[in-house]
Structure 1
Amino acid sequence: MVCDYFKDKIGTLVSCVTLAASCLLPLTIHAQDHSNATGQLKQSFTQMVEKELANWQRQAGLDAIKHTIDVHLPSGAANLQQCPNALVISSGARLPFGNVQRRVTCESLGWSLFIRARVDVTANVPVANRPLARGEHISASDIELQWLKLTPADRDLITQKSQLIGHQVSHKLRRFRAIKTSQVTNPQWINIGDRVIIEAKMNGFYANMPGEALESGGEGATIRVRNLSSGKIIHVYPTAKGRVKTLF
């Protein structure tokens, strides 16, 4: 009788423990699914940003950059189940740093949401080590490399010293600031009224003669000059300060 009594009590206790465990198990698995979905979102979004940064770095011609990515998920992400397929992330038209936002979709489960991230980028770029005014020619001593934190406004960034040295300032350059391509131009070698040397080369023939510039121009430009020997007006292209070549 005593044994049967304790056997019944122990059986009841085991049943209760089993029932409690069975009730808690689905909740544990469910919470784990939500945690996996959150991790999947952060990992996929981070990989997307890193890929876009690598593409931008290559296009910009930068040897190296440093970056941090801080992903912020909306509160509703905690209620999502992990997507069994790869997440679909929309592309962006802006630079992949600063405040980045993309739509992320799980097509198989039919959910989507917007995810934001704060992406900070620093790059080793050429800067002016002194203020340079419009019209100044840039020399090697005017430029040095510095690590700068970039902003989404730093589009069309100059990333190599060779893009600056020998060129002319078209918009004032501030000291130790990132430089855009719109702030510099090809050097203005010839101005209207300048006396120039006209060089002519063709089939081993070479000659030079004096001329007068009727237009201003620099590297890559075509200008008109008057040949002071013959009085003819010809089209030439500047090759250096005070020197032009004929267009044969």
Structure 2
Amino acid sequence: MIYSTPRSLTMSLCPASQSQDTHVNIFNLTPVTATLAIVSCLLSASTACANTISEQIDAQVSEAIKQHFLTKVPDSRLEIRLNPVDSRLKLSPCSTPLRVKLPFQSGQRITAKVSCPQPRWSLFVTGQVQQYKTIVVATTPIVKGSRVSARHLDLREREITTLSGDYYQRQHDVVGRVARINISAETAITPRMLAVAKAVKRGDPVVIEARRGSVSIRTDGVAQEDGKAGETITVINSRSGMEIRARVIAPGKVQVP
């Protein structure tokens, strides 16, 4: 039997857009060696294509995750770790951009659905996302019931996807509030940990202010109730002994409507 082989053989397994061609010169090879060379070439080219698809999936899923998280929290830093695509999947190269949806998220864990319109296939990619942002943190322990001051606080980078509830980005939003619980050092401060401090307490002396146009009249009084800024409480005018209702406008200060 006479085997007739061409001087050279060129095979392209990846799509032209990938520009990954494998060239094998089989001149003077025996038929068996030539066959093995062709098989090896096919396997090599197939692996190259598979790697390209896997890299494409990783790149587009990572980009979709970045857009999703940075849209919600623009000034933050992301660390994304995707689990490898199952190497046993035989995925054909996609002729159009992949479609990526992020249907599932629980804390740091996220799942992305990746689909190709042509040829049609889809798969799920899982991974972990850590999002870091500079937020308000307690630098020293804060005792329950105490008023928070600037010396208790600092701005530090923290991972925010695991925080329960919101957080603060500015220290002055926290200063002056009262701790509802004991807060440990290095803890990120959240709204549920704090309460608005009472500007006036029952029995406190207060200044009662009444405005009539451009004229302001002030007199002394005594608070009959606790009150936060903006709340209306009962006070007694120390001069007249009359009980009146007034709105708390600042610590130790109320205003008659």
- Shorter-chain TM-score bucket reads 0.7 to 0.9
Partner of 2:205: 195
- 8 A Cα contact 2:165 2:191, kept in partner: no
Distance 1:202 1:185, change over 3 A: farther
* Residue 68 in structure 1 maps to residue 79 in structure 2: yes
Partner of 1:87: 99
Q: Distance in 1 between matches of 2:179 and 2:254?
A: 22
CA positional deviation for 1:167? 1.8
* Residue type at the aligned position of 1:185: A
Partner of 1:222: 231
- 8 A Cα contact 1:38 1:77, kept in partner: no
Partner of 2:255: 245
SS of the residue corresponding to residue 75 of structure 1 reads coil
- 8 A Cα contact 1:137 1:167, kept in partner: yes
Q: Distance in 1 between matches of 2:191 and 2:136?
A: 12
RMSD across aligned positions (CA): 3.1
Residue among 22, 26, 34 paired with 2:50: 34
Q: Distance in 1 between matches of 2:182 and 2:162?
A: 20
Q: Which moved more, 1:122-131 or 1:74-83?
A: 74-83
SS of the residue corresponding to residue 109 of structure 1 reads coil
Q: How does 1:1-80 map to 2 (within 5 A)?
A: 13=28, 16=31, 26-58=42-74, 63=75, 65-75=76-86, 78-80=89-91
Partner of 1:5: none
CA positional deviation for 1:227? 4.0
Residue among 215, 227, 238 paired with 1:205: 215
Q: Distance in 2 between matches of 1:107 and 1:235?
A: 68
CA positional deviation for 1:89? 1.4
Q: Distance in 2 between matches of 1:234 and 1:67?
A: 53
Q: Which moved more, 1:170-179 or 1:188-197?
A: 188-197
Distance 1:33 1:242, change over 3 A: same
SS of the residue corresponding to residue 155 of structure 1 reads coil
- 8 A Cα contact 1:126 1:158, kept in partner: yes
Q: Distance in 2 between matches of 1:126 and 1:86?
A: 39
* Aligned residues with identical type, % of pairs: 18
**TM superposition score normalised by structure 1:** 0.77
Distance 1:202 1:169, change over 3 A: farther
- 8 A Cα contact 2:81 2:127, kept in partner: yes
Q: Distance in 1 between matches of 2:136 and 2:233?
A: 35
Q: How does 1:115-130 map to 2 (within 5 A)?
A: 115-130=125-140
* Residue type at the aligned position of 2:232: I
- 8 A Cα contact 1:40 1:82, kept in partner: no
- 8 A Cα contact 2:201 2:225, kept in partner: yes
Structure in which a larger fraction of residues adopt helix:
1
* Residue type at the aligned position of 2:234: V
- 8 A Cα contact 2:224 2:236, kept in partner: no
Partner of 2:158: 148
Q: Which moved more, 1:47-56 or 1:180-189?
A: 47-56
- 8 A Cα contact 1:127 1:145, kept in partner: yes
* Residue 181 in structure 1 maps to residue 195 in structure 2: no
Where structure 2 has 5 or more consecutive residues not aligned to the other structure, the ranges are 8-26
SS of the residue corresponding to residue 59 of structure 2 reads helix
**TM superposition score normalised by structure 2:** 0.74
- Between Structure 1 and Structure 2, how many residues are aligned? 231
* Residue type at the aligned position of 1:38: S
Q: Distance in 1 between matches of 2:214 and 2:68?
A: 52
